[in-house]
């Protein structure tokens, strides 16, 4: 855990250290992070796309010290990189069920990302009396990954543990990047399309064991918060959230859903890392309020941009949820933090083995 904690600390540091003592490493794990210069030359003699070599080997050994080539690559390697490495080197790819990496990744997404992370963490943010929080137990077809209701407010969650393909990143093509976003988060059966289906179902009945009549709720009074959770840091890029907000709004109009409830809020595209990193702050702010703040700030900036045509305002309006949340929390004397490991272990029910 020392290296993981250190990597997060260095990401926030103005002058990060790039040296690690040999004793700080667990060799059974981190030996695979060490760059072999000769192997690198051989493998990438024709060049390396998107720093793929350094992403695979982000450490360089120098006597009894290790040089960190990039702290971001270290942090990413500890999750995404290890998934690839385990698949390639553990022998699990010999199992007929996992001949394709996608099948293995889907298992990780369901059993680890969704069940062990998302479903353990989300309840910390959604509390209160007379509330309902339900997760998809694969019993009811078409159930959202999470459903939360507090009075007239309903949150519909979909979590997507999806990678952004290197080919799209390296293309520098607006069209290919858009196609990749659509493929992962904006189809009939994924992301925005899934939430549309949930809304259609929600018109008839809530995702609960009672009817609206039994709950004494009028559909026209409901306020819906659609939320998509992503995992890859690539999707934090400016403009991604705005694009999906616009696409979701188009789908609402196409399906004549915009007037079906009291209000359907703009789509919120949120990183799972935000929920992880703020575990210690979960009881210091209201989840609904921080989402409202995000959309209100974006609208406010867009309104100013429309009046002034200022390019800086346009760029600012394209920032992600986490960007605006940081300011929201700071104004309330809440510092966005990295996870407290004892708390994370307790919440995730992890045990030392």
Per DSSP, the residues of 34-100 read: B--HHHHHHHTTT--GGGHHHHH--EEEETTEEEES-HHHHHHIIIIIHHHHHHHHSSGGGSGGGSS
Q: What is the pTM of this model?
A: 0.79
Q: What is the pLDDT of residue 243?
A: 95
Beta strands in 254-337 (DSSP E): 263-264, 268-271
**CA angle in degrees (0–180, nearest 5) for 267-272-277:** 125
pLDDT tens digits for the chain (353 residues)? Answer: 444 445 445 445 554 565 556 554 455 556 778 888 888 888 877 766 667 777 778 888 877 777 888 776 776 666 666 677 777 778 888 888 888 888 888 888 888 889 888 999 999 999 888 899 999 987 778 899 999 999 999 999 999 988 777 677 667 788 988 999 999 999 999 999 999 999 999 999 999 999 999 999 999 999 999 999 998 878 888 899 999 999 999 999 999 998 899 999 999 999 998 998 888 889 899 999 999 999 999 999 999 999 999 999 999 999 999 999 988 998 888 876 554 445 555 555 555 44
Burial class (CB in 10 A: 0-12, 13-18, 19+), 253: exposed
Locus of tokens 């298992």: 107
Long-range CB contacts (within 8 A, 24+) of 324-333:
324/293, 324/294, 324/297, 324/298, 325/274, 325/290, 325/293, 325/294, 327/297, 328/285, 328/290, 328/293, 328/294, 329/278, 329/281, 329/284, 329/285, 329/290, 332/284, 332/285
Give the pairing type, strands 19-21 and 65-68. Answer: antiparallel
Q: What is the pLDDT of residue 149?
A: 97
Integer-rounded Cα radius of gyration of the chain: 22
**CA–CA dist 35, 43 (Å, integer):** 12
Give the pairing type, strands 146-150 and 223-230. Answer: unpaired
Q: What is the pLDDT of residue 110?
A: 85
Q: What is the pLDDT of residue 157?
A: 98
How far from the centroid of its chain's Cα atoms is residue 151's Cα? 27
Q: What is the pLDDT of residue 8?
A: 46
Q: What is the DSSP string of 316-331?
A: HHT--HHHHHHHHHHH
Q: For residue 325, what are its two tokens?
A: 């949340």
**CA–CA dist 130, 147 (Å, integer):** 14
Q: Which of 121, 110, 13 is nearest to 71 (CA)?
A: 13
User: What is the number of residues in the chain?
Assistant: 353
**CA–CA dist 101, 96 (Å, integer):** 11
Q: Which of 217, 232, 343 is nearest to 277 (CA)?
A: 343
**CA angle in degrees (0–180, nearest 5) for 108-114-120:** 130
């Amino acid at each position: 855990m020392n290296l993981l904690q250190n990597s997060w600390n260095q990401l926030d540091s103005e002058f990060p250290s790039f040296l690690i003592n040999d004793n700080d490493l667990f060799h059974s794990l981190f030996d695979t992070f060490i760059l072999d210069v000769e192997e690198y030359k051989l493998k990438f003699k024709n060049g390396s796309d998107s720093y793929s070599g350094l992403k695979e080997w982000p450490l360089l050994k120098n006597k009894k010290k290790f040089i960190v080539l990039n702290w971001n690559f270290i942090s990413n390697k500890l999750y995404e990189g290890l998934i690839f490495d385990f698949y390639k080197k553990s022998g699990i790819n010999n199992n007929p069920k996992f001949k394709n990496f996608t099948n293995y990744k889907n298992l990780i997404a369901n059993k680890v990302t969704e069940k062990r992370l998302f479903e353990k963490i989300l309840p910390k943010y959604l509390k209160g009396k007379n509330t309902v929080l339900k997760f998809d137990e694969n019993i009811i077809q078409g159930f959202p990954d999470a459903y939360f209701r507090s009075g007239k407010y309903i949150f519909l969650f979909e979590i997507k543990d999806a990678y952004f393909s290197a080919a799209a990143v390296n293309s520098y093509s607006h069209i290919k990047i858009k196609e990749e976003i659509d493929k992962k988060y904006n189809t009939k059966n994924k992301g925005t399309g899934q939430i549309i289906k949930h809304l259609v179902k929600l018109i008839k009945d809530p995702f609960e064991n009672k009817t609206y009549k039994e709950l004494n709720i009028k559909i026209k009074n409901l306020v819906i918060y659609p939320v998509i959770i992503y995992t890859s840091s690539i999707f934090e890029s400016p403009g991604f959230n705005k694009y999906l907000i616009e696409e979701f709004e188009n789908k609402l109009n196409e399906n004549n859903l915009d007037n079906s409830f009291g209000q359907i809020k703009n789509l919120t595209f949120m990183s799972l890392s935000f929920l992880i990193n703020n575990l210690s702050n979960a009881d210091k702010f209201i989840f609904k309020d921080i989402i409202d703040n995000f959309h209100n700030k974006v609208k406010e900036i867009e309104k100013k941009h429309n009046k002034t045509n200022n390019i800086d305002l346009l760029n600012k309006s394209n920032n992600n949820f986490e960007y605006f949340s940081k300011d929201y929390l700071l104004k309330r004397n809440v510092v966005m933090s990295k996870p407290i490991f004892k708390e994370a272990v307790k919440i995730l029910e992890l045990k030392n083995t």
